[in-house]
Amino acid sequence: MSDAPASAHGPTLAQLRALVALADHLHFGQAAEELGVSQPSVSAAIAGLEAALGVALADRTSRRVVLTPAGEQAAARARRALAEVDHLVGLATQPAVPGGTPLRLGVIPTVAPYVLAPVLRALGRRWPDLHLQVTEDQTARLLDDLSAGNLDAIVLALPTGAPGVVEVPLYWEDFVLLVPPEHPLAGKVGLSRAVLRDVRLLLLEEGHCLSGQVLDICRQAGAVADHPARAASLTTIAQLVAAGLGTTLLPATALPVETRKGKLAVARFRPPAPGRRIGLAFCPGPSGAPEHHQLAAYMRRALDRPGFAGHIGPGTAVTEVPVGAP
C-alpha cells in the first residue's frame, strides 16, 4: 500500500481498501494485519483519503476508532466500488482467493470437529465465491498430500518438521485431564504434571499426532501411558472415560463438544499447562504465498471470540523449514 497522498483524480484503490478494513475492525492495527501492511501505512492511507474527499472519516480521539457519518457512507460506497473492481479483475485473472478456486484444505481429526464451523463460516463471508474442499485425515497423510500438490493448506499441530513447508501459528490450546465425575481429581485445579504418574491414560490409536504429544508429556513427567485400549476418535475416548475405563488428556477446545452429554469431569494443570500449538501449513509458490497468510489471519479472527478455549496470539511469527532439512 502506498503512503502517497491521493492525486487530483481522486482516491486510490489502496486507500479505499484501507477504509473498508478500518470499518470492519475499527482498529488500525487489525486493519493493517488484514491488509498485510504496517499500521502507519493504514493511517497514511486514511489521512490521504480524507484529504482527497475533504471530510473527516474516522474519530481517533477515543481509545477505539469510530467512523464519522461521512466515513460510514464512504465505507459503504468503497465496498461496492472494490467489489466491482475485484469482479473486473476476475474476468481476466484467477480469482484472488487463497489457493485459487476451489480451496483444498486439510484438517487433523483432533481439530476439525471443534474449530472448523466458525472458520468456514468466516471464510464464506470473506470470499462468497470460494468453493471449499475439506479433507480430514491424520498428519502424515495430510503432509504427503500437501507435498504432492493435492492440498493447498492444512491445519495441524506445529511444528511439523516437514521440509519446504511454511508454518503460520493460529492458536495455542492447553490440555486438560478428563476424568469420570467420581474420580478424586474431578474439579481440581492447579495440578502438577506429576499426577500423570498416578492415572491410567487412554490414547488415540497410532497415527494421530495427539497420541505422540501426550506420550511426550508423559515422558517429561516421568509417567507411562500403558493403557491397552486405543480409540479412533476423541469422542470414543471421552465415552471410555465416562464409563470409568481410564482418563485422558483432552485439548481444551474439545471440551464444549465432548462434555455436553455430561458424566465427565475436568481437572486443570497449573501454568504453564501442557498443550500444543495449532497452525496453518502450506508450500509457498514462486511469489511466496501472501494469500495463505491472509487466510491464516482470517482464521485467527474467526476463532478470536468469547468462549473459545484457545489462546489467540498476534500470529505474526512464521517458521520456514528449508528444503532438504532433516
Cell numbers 465465491 correspond to what residue? 129
Amino acid at 254: A
Return d(Cα 89, Cα 192) in angstroms, integer.
Answer: 57
Query: For residues 23 and 70, is the Cβ–Cβ distance under 8 A?
Result: no
Name the residue ranges covered by the structural domains of the chain: 13-92, 99-326
In Å, the largest CA–CA distance within the chain is: 75
Mutual angle of helices 39-53 and 28-35, in 10-degree steps: 100
Mutual angle of helices 290-303 and 112-126, in 10-degree steps: 120
At residue 326, the pLDDT reads: 28
Whether the CA torsion 220, 225, 231, 236 is positive or negative: it is negative
Is 99-326 in the same CATH topology as 13-92? no
Say which residues have a Cβ less than 8 Å from residue 28's Cβ, sequence separation at least 6. Answer: 22, 39, 42, 43, 65
Compute how many other C-beta atoms are within 10 angstroms of the C-beta atom of residue 217: 20
pLDDT in tens, the chain (326 residues): 444 343 445 788 889 999 999 998 888 888 888 888 888 889 999 999 999 898 999 987 666 789 999 999 999 999 888 877 765 654 444 444 554 567 899 999 999 999 999 898 888 888 888 888 999 999 999 999 998 889 999 999 999 988 889 999 999 999 999 999 999 999 999 999 999 999 999 898 876 888 888 888 988 888 887 777 788 899 999 999 999 999 999 999 999 999 887 789 999 999 999 999 999 999 886 555 678 888 898 899 889 888 889 998 644 333 333 322 32
User: 3-class DSSP state for residue 134?
Assistant: strand
Helices H, strands E: what count in the chain?
10, 12
User: 3-class DSSP state for residue 146?
Assistant: helix
* Percent composition of the chain: helix, strand, coil (DSSP 3-state, to 5): 40, 20, 40
* CATH for 99-326, options being 3.20.20.10, 3.40.50.10860, 3.40.605.10, 3.40.190.290: 3.40.190.290
List, as one string, the DSSP characters of 227-294. Answer: -S-EESSHHHHHHHHHTTS-BEEEEGGGHHHHTTT-S-EEE-BPSSPPEEEEEEEE--BTTB-HHHHH
Architecture of the domain delimited by 13-92 = Orthogonal Bundle (1.10)
